Amino acid sequence: MTNADLVVVGSGFFGLTIAERCASELGLRVLVIDRRHHIGGNAYSEANRETGIEVHRYGAHLFHTSNPAIWEYVNRFTSFTNYVHKVYTNRGGEVFPLPINLGTINQFFRSAYSPGEARALIAEQASELDTGAAGNLEEKAVSLIGRPLYEAFIRDYTAKQWQTDPRELPAEIISRLPVRYTYDNRYFNDTYEGLPVDGYTAWIERMADHPNIEVRLDTDFFDLEQEINKTATVGQVPVVYTGPIDRYFDYAEGELSWRTLDFEEEVLPMRDFQGTPVMNYADLDVPYTRIHEFRHFHPEREYPADKTVILREFSRFATREDEPYYPVNTPQDREGLLAYRQLGDAERDVYFGGRLGTYQYLDMHMAIGSALSMYENKLKPRFTR
């Protein structure tokens, strides 16, 4: 497409929402480019070759939102199963439900506390330290949920996630640690929740399926930048950029730091390995943070009775060559981000969005919601004035 009206860099949920809206509602010709070999960004999934079981290539993706407009929008492209996410944690050879709830507390303290009794116990244990005076993550966590629960469920898991002793991590990494004084262990509190019936890739492909949308894969924006500007008929083609903001400015204000994940996939010769989709491992002597078993995300599907696919997840700091997954957000990162935002504001024809373009963790519904709002508030007025 040599005469695109708009170029979208990145085919994740942010980029595709922009492309879909601009093509369907404004009739614009949109060129979407992605450096990966597939569309969908981190939400991409594919069938494991040996078993046909759908594997979320970049870690488990569960859709949830309480926003009716976003729910209505995503239902244009897919219907959802009635999957409800629940997580368990293996700690000291015992399995507990998460997030920490009355079931976790009573199992851990070998007791039968009522909600009021449990609340009083945790408040008393948490009174050991003052939240306002917490100087590191450990002190903050102890001041919120008390030392016994912190040491059992948070300390070693956090150390594995960050590859750092929690006493050396800043207190601001956690703002709150939810404890539920009921037996409800639904992971998300949102009104709407489910998994796309035909899988993520089918959903994503339907978003891109429009005669005005051209998707070019295996293409890095920075290799194409010159060509895009040369072929523009009038002035510069506006660009929606959802890649890393520091890369856009050639790291002029320094590199923003990220955590990344490594995944080890294995097909096991059994129907069921762990009886649940996600099992966390809270102890330090287990090197991975969690194991996903993908068949459990779709109990309604016919999967093989003698094989299952598991994915072990390991966490570490990212180098420039790694996939950036979670912003680390140190004070230095925040300073760098401010500087990049100022540089970004000065780029008249480039709109920065998505999790990499804004350097923030966004759930899928948040990426879609923020793309819908960029479309309504910035792109639509620009193209219809």
Query: Dihedral, CA atoms, 135, 137, 141, 142, nearest 10 degrees?
Result: -50
* Binding of ligand FDA by 322 (CB under 6 A): no
Q: Find the binder of ligand FDA among 242, 257, 289, 315 (CB under 6 A).
A: 242
Closest to ligand FDA by CB, 146 vs 277, is 277
Interface pattern 6-45 for ligand FDA (x via CB under 6 A): ---xxxxxxx-----------------xxxx----xxx--
Q: State CA 27 to chain mean position distance.
A: 31
Distance CA 118, CA 110 (A): 12
Residues 194-213: b if buried by 16+ CB within 10 A, e if exposed: bbbeebbbebbbbbbeeebb
CB of 106 to ligand FDA, least distance (A): 28
**C-alpha distance from residue 43 to each of 84, 195, 204, 264, 340 (Å):** 18, 12, 9, 18, 26
Pick out residues in 339-358 that bind ligand FDA (CB under 6 A): 354-356
Q: Are 90 and 153 in contact (CB under 8 A)?
A: no
Q: Are 206 and 74 in contact (CB under 8 A)?
A: no
Contacts with ligand FDA: how many residues (CB under 6 A)?
35
Closest to ligand FDA by CB, 97 vs 369, is 369
* Count of CB atoms situated within 10 Å of the CB of 238: 21
- Active site annotation includes 313: yes
CB of 354 to ligand FDA, least distance (A): 3
Please tell me which residue in 193, 313, 355, 359 is annotated as part of the active site.
Answer: 313
* Binding of ligand FDA by 187 (CB under 6 A): no
- Active site annotation includes 180: yes
SS3 percent helix, strand, coil of the chain, rounded to 5, is 40, 20, 45
Closest to ligand FDA by CB, 61 vs 295, is 61
Token pair 């244990």 is found at 125
Q: Are 16 and 208 in contact (CB under 8 A)?
A: yes
Q: Find the binder of ligand FDA among 6, 122, 195, 261 (CB under 6 A).
A: 261
- Active site annotation includes 110: no
Interface pattern 189-228 for ligand FDA (x via CB under 6 A): -------------------------------xxx------
CB of 127 to ligand FDA, least distance (A): 34
Q: Which stretch binds ligand FDA (CB under 6 A): 125-133, 164-172, 335-343, 359-367?
A: 359-367
CB of 56 to ligand FDA, least distance (A): 8
Closest to ligand FDA by CB, 48 vs 65, is 65
Q: Which two tokens stand for residue 166?
A: 């929690």
- Active site annotation includes 35: no
Q: Which two tokens stand for residue 78?
A: 């897919």
- Active site annotation includes 361: yes
CB of 273 to ligand FDA, least distance (A): 20
Residues 6+ apart with CB under 8 A from 382: 238
Residues 144-179: b if buried by 16+ CB within 10 A, e if exposed: bbbbebbebbbbbbbbbbbeeebeebebebbeebeb
What's 164's DSSP letter? Answer: S
Closest to ligand FDA by CB, 10 vs 97, is 10
Relative to beta strand 45-47, strand 54-56 is antiparallel
Q: Find the binder of ligand FDA among 4, 53, 60, 291 (CB under 6 A).
A: 60
Q: State CA 236 to chain mean position distance.
A: 32
The contact set with ligand FDA (CB under 6 A) reads 9-15, 33-36, 41-43, 58-63, 220-222, 242-243, 261, 325, 354-356, 362-365, 367
Active site residues: 176, 180, 259, 290, 313, 361, 363
